[in-house]
Amino acid sequence: RVSILLIDAGVWNSLRVAPHTIGRPDINDSMELFSACGIKVFADESSLKERNITACNGYVEKLSRQEAIGLIAESDVLLNFG
């Protein structure tokens, strides 16, 4: 099973924005592809609150910090991008 955890500044990727307005590539297409492939995308609630992000796109599930730690602890392989 593959999961993606957005944490700290990574939670900005949970927003549905027009990429040209922030000068970044469009991650929304990737989020849709992840969902279609059965890859779950999670966002750390603490990171969201720190950035005053209240709504994520429909492909992202919010996790408490404790749940995020559990997801990490149960993982066989971790890839860190940041």
Closest CA to 65 of 54, 80, 50: 50
Could you tell me the pTM of the whole model? 0.83
pLDDT tens digit string along 24-79? 777 777 888 888 899 999 999 999 999 999 988 888 999 999 999 999 999 999 98
Q: Which two tokens stand for residue 76?
A: 């066989």
* DSSP state letter for 81: -
